[in-house]
Amino acid sequence: MDDVQAASAHLAAFLKENRQPAVRPGEKPENPEKTMDQHRKRTLTFVTIGLIFVLSGIEYAVILPTIWRYLQILEAPPYFLGLGLSAFSLSGLLTGPLFGFWSDRSGRTKTIVLFSNLFEIGGNFMYFVGYSKWLLLGSRLVAGVGAGAGSSIFGFLTRSTRPEERAGIFAAVMACRQAGLVVGPAFNLFLRLCDFKLGPFVVNKYTSPGIFMCLLWLLLQFIVLVMYWDVPPIGSEGGGVLLEMKREEPREEEVPLMGSDEENAPSYRAVSSSGPADTSAALGERCVHGGSAASSPFRNFSASREFLREEVVVLLTAQFITLFNQTALETMVTPMTQRFFGFGELANSLMYSLCGVEVILGFFFVRWLSGRVADRAVLAAGLLICCTACIWCLVFLCNPRGGYGWELAAFVIGVFLQLLGLPFVAVSQVSLFSKVTSEKTQGFSQGVRRSVGGLATILGPLWAGGLTNNLYIMLGMMLALLLMITVLTALSYRRLAEPRAVQRAQSSDSGG
């Protein structure tokens, strides 16, 4: 505790001393134009990241309502729907950690984004060609490689934002994807009217989403070239404060068999970006940018120490269960609306558009809420809402009664509740995960997190695809998983928080 207090006092003194930095002899004063240029680059980069997530939402929205009928035309068996939806996630699962490792070692993400977009372009062109069900399946595998760059982007966002603003930034980025889900169905309104030939290729309402997304991802390549910069991490700008998220492990003989959270919690120390020689060495290891790193960020890295901690395991489990349930329900929705309500492509597109509006409003509400409520409280509220939604679906959708009007109302309420809990869980667990894992290897850590989510999005459609006629079994398993993670969250609630040393450093900053 004395070391933590001493580090906090040193950090507070550093902040107070450097609030208005003096110009040293022989040095030029800081150039305001350079500062404005860095701010402009950061803003344009964040806007470009928003566009990337918008396009990922549009792709999902224009393909999901039509892929079911597309596969039927290609004479694919029903289980190919689950395979097609899972193939995209499988590629992202495998490539996410690789892209994250690449970005951590190089300190750059622009090259990774440009490289990954090539797979999006190629995969969507394959979807457009679509001569067979196997080519269609392969197209989703190829396009999914491009989605793996999301781990690098989240790692970049973690390094480029302060902990107290991170949940709001993540909520805004996730809202961009939902905005794409809202805009996507609007494109389907004219894509469904396509009926012509482009050379040897047929352009109709099933193939047109592929060529449309191919052109959009090609356009994004030029936007990334012009508007995306690998701006330096926020801790390395202008003599700012650098918080080294280094977990100090006690020696084996010092670990108590039982103790409080205060005794067993990992400690973190704050390191200023200007200081004595020993902190300069730490800074050399910590700051990776422009290929000038003194050593690898993975020096002394241990996957077991990083990921096999109670709070990290709980957050990864929450990631898996919520995405498993979400993708299972998404897979179930299209066949259910076709069977019970007679919905076609247009009705499904409008339904997804309305769902997207609800989720966007939810993300903006969570963005506002995250500045007033702790992330773990937001996570707990989201899990309770998801449990309520699953219970409702289990009671009213498995054996619908009361005629068309009541069945439709029960379906709408179930979908509304499910979507209501999604922003709470999604934002809070991503924000918490970025705070309880090391910042210097954040790209790789986010890749692991997204791979866990990718595994869930593979298994979810496969689980639901084979049980569309056995809703009691499908929804019963989903409810059991939700109850399990809710109990785990309650038991680990005290550990689901930002490390105390970082919190005290921030308090000293605000009060100094």
pLDDT for 254 beyond 60: no
Distance separating alpha carbons of residues 159 and 46, to the nearest angstrom:
13
- Tell me which residue of 421, 435, 342, 352 sits closest to 387, measured CA to CA: 421
User: What are the tokens at 338?
Assistant: 């076709």
Tell me whether residue 401 is exposed, middle or buried, using C-beta atoms within 10 angstroms of its C-beta: 0 to 12, 13 to 18, 19 or more.
Answer: exposed
- Tell me which residue of 186, 208, 191, 189 sits closest to 357, measured CA to CA: 186
More confident residue, 232 or 156: 156
Domains in the chain: boundaries: 33-232, 309-496
User: What are the tokens at 60?
Assistant: 């999902």
| HSE-up (13 A, CA, CB side) for residue 4 | 17
Q: Is 108 left (phi over 0), alpha (psi -120 to 50) or beta?
A: beta
User: What are the tokens at 495?
Assistant: 């550990």
Average pLDDT over residues 501-506: 44
Average pLDDT over residues 467-477: 79
Question: What are the residue ranges of helices labelled H in 74-196?
Answer: 79-106, 110-129, 133-147, 150-159, 163-191
Query: How do residues 83-121 score in pLDDT, each as one tens digit?
Result: 777 788 788 878 888 888 888 888 788 888 999 999 999
Q: Please, what CATH class does the domain formed by 33-232 belong to?
A: mainly alpha
Q: Which numeric CATH code is attached to 309-496? A: 1.20.1250.20
Dihedral sign for Cα atoms in the order 171, 173, 174, 175: positive
Distance separating alpha carbons of residues 248 and 173, to the nearest angstrom:
32
pLDDT of res. 296: 67
Q: Is 202 in a helix, a strand, or coil?
A: strand
Ranges of beta strands (E only) in 238-291 are 241-244, 269-272
pLDDT for 464 beyond 50: yes
pLDDT of res. 303: 67
Assess whether the region 33-232 and the region 309-496 belong to the same CATH fold: yes
- Tell me which residue of 167, 130, 169, 124 sits closest to 143, measured CA to CA: 124
pLDDT of res. 295: 59
For residue 9, the one-letter residue type is: A
User: What are the tokens at 179?
Assistant: 């905005």
**How many H-runs (helices) and E-runs (strands) does the chain carry?**
18, 4
Answer for the pair 319, 453: CB distance below 8 angstroms, yes or no: yes
Answer for the pair 148, 94: CB distance below 8 angstroms, yes or no: yes
Alpha carbon of 443 to those of 105, 153, 224, 265: distances in Å? 9, 8, 19, 24
C-alpha 298: how far from chain center? 22
pLDDT range class, residue 358, cuts 50, 70, 90:
confident
Answer for the pair 335, 470: CB distance below 8 angstroms, yes or no: no
Q: What is the DSSP letter of 25?
A: T
Distance separating alpha carbons of residues 177 and 170, to the nearest angstrom:
11
| C-alpha gyration radius of the chain | 24
pLDDT of res. 32: 60
Distance separating alpha carbons of residues 368 and 365, to the nearest angstrom:
5
Answer for the pair 333, 415: CB distance below 8 angstroms, yes or no: yes
pLDDT for 195 beyond 50: yes
> What's the pTM value of the predicted model, to 2 decimals?
0.64
pLDDT of res. 215: 92
